[in-house]
Amino acid sequence: MSKIKTDFGIDEALFALGIQNLNDGSSTGSNNFSSGETIESYSPVDGSLIAKVKTTSKNDYDKVIDVASEAFKTWRLKPAPQRGEIVRQFGNKLRELKEPLGKLVSYEMGKSYQEGLGEVQEMIDICDFAVGLSRQLHGLTMHSERPGHRMYEQYHSLGIIGIISAFNFPVAVWAWNTALAWICGDVCVWKPSEKTPLCGVACQNIAASVFKANNLPEGISSMINGNYKVGEMMTNDVRIPLVSATGSIRMGKIVAQAVAARLGKSLLELGGNNAIIVTPNADIKMTVIGAVFGAVGTAGQRCTSTRRLIIHESIYNKVKDALVAAYKQLRVGNPLDENNHVGPLIDTDAVANYNKALKKVVAEGGKILVPGGILDGKGYESGCYVKPAIAEADNNFEIVQHETFAPVLYLLKYSGEVENAIAIQNGVVQGLSSAIMTSNLREAEQFLSVVGSDCGIANVNIGTSGAEIGGAFGGEKETGGGRESGSDAWKIYMRRQTNTINYTTELPLAQGIKFDL
């Protein structure tokens, strides 16, 4: 490992997470047989090289799948409550390591330290949820039409779950999938983002320590490293019945086609183009807080980030002025300094996309209200820090129709009734998160009705970003249609089986069919 001394306790965090023994070019983590090319992980915070990790070759990958397949044979036979006990221990281990893991998330990804801690808390929360769920993997009983027969359905473990996660939530999304999959008796093979490989190594080390303490096979959780080519091994592998992928719409379409071609199952969490509708009945103070956090939190790199603010013409100028004033108070800088609101983008490619979006909105006829720009000088040496920007635009602009993973907020004006705003909100291909700010019950209920928001998440008087693990998370349309985390999202990680038992000495056929011999 290339040791980089900082003022942020990063070395101490790496040590606590079991990454201290990496050598340049080495690989680490449970069941990670990687022997391919090297990934260099640079922090967007200060541009420093944190460490290097080897990628996974085809031969390496096959070894990982073999180990995972063997582990599945053992793990699926454990009663679900016993699997829950292991997840409980994993959650407790996360509690012990919350600070160092949160710090690594912040340093390697660039989100604020508070958001890094919040992401680890999401992991802890999903473990708690999964532990309770381990005693509730219920099916249904049904009355048979045939006398002396009983019908019911049950759920069985599915097998190897392939997980492809994105850089913006480098640990939480993996845990959403993994905690539920483990409870269901599945084993997991994870490809973390090549932009945040050390977060993957850290999580893998934590999981491995729990399995070792319980004399369980490490293959219950395995990790592979690399770019999209490594992901392709997983999506094309018939040994993996379910691939859960988080990322762009473009990536999701590729994954969906590859998995469907082999009649596998996919769980897709893709792009968002999330809007908040602001009606004349909105609380302006609440609106500003929700919109600003939604737009600039994680430097606009959440799939639930607020991209569009749809404001009624009667209060448009009032909301606009309040937002511009609020943006003047934002502090952009080192995300490990809790006085800062906004950290860096993940890399300079993201910065380039941010600049293109601002140029594009002007070229299409928009107006910049809060200028953007790249920050330089002391503290901004990585070249990844940008100013959160606001632009007036039209929903039909091409750039507004696409998701820009950066802190760019578009203000859109509507007139008339709330259904006009809902039409604007729904007028994009994405369908992840949405919100309305109103104190009018009729407006709120219309927004939540069948003719209201077409998104998987619809909120009233809160913003678009942030989600509790108790509810199913996911979106519609080109967001992919997947559901993770709470509610009954666990069912996708299992195979459903309908059972009919005849406890008589006769064999009547369904639908009254006669077949006499």
pLDDT in tens, 138-172: 999 999 999 999 999 999 999 999 999 999 999 99
Give the model confidence (pLDDT) of 193-246 as tens digits.
999 999 999 999 999 999 999 999 989 999 999 999 999 999 999 999 999 999
Give the chain's domain count: 2
Q: Which residues contact 93 (CB under 8 A, 6 or more apart)?
A: 206, 209, 210
CA–chain centroid gap for 400, Å, is: 22
Same domain, 432 and 449: yes
User: Of these residues, 194, 269, 478, 484, which one is catalytic?
Assistant: 269
Find out whether 143 and 157 touch, Cβ atoms under 8 Å: no
pLDDT of residue 321: 98
pLDDT recorded at residue 20: 67
Q: Given this model, what pLDDT does residue 400 score? A: 98
CA 473, distance to chain mean position in Å, is 9
Residue in the structure block whose two tokens are 């056929």: 509
Query: Does 303 qualify as catalytic in the annotation?
Result: yes
> Which residue in the list 127, 188, 303, 455 is annotated as catalytic?
303
Backbone dihedral region of 113: left (phi > 0), alpha (psi from -120 to 50 degrees) or beta?
alpha
Tell me whether residue 211 is in a domain: yes
Taking 50 as the pLDDT cut, the residues of the chain under it are: 1-7, 21-31
Count CB neighbours of 514 within 10 A. 6
Give pTM, 2 decimals. 0.94
- The 10s digit of each residue's pLDDT in 368-394 is 999 999 999 999 999 999 999 999 999
- SS3 category, 104: helix
Position 517 in a domain: no
266/340 same-domain check:
no
In sequence order, the β-bridge partners of residue 392 are 367, 411
DSSP 477-514: ETT----EESTTGGGGGEEEEEEEEE-SS--PPGGG--
Task: Say which CATH number the domain at 69 has.
Answer: 3.40.605.10
Secondary structure of 423-473 as H, E, C letters: HHHHCCCEECEEEEECCCHHHHHHHHCCCCCCCCEEEECCCCCCCCCCCEE
pLDDT for 395: 98
Residue 33: per-residue pLDDT: 62
Domain that holds residue 328: 274-468
Q: Are 426 and 444 members of one domain?
A: yes
pLDDT of residue 2: 35
Q: Is residue 304 located within the same domain as residue 254?
A: no
468 is catalytic: no
What pLDDT sits at residue 96?
98
476 assigned to some structural domain: no
CATH code (residue 313): 3.40.309.10
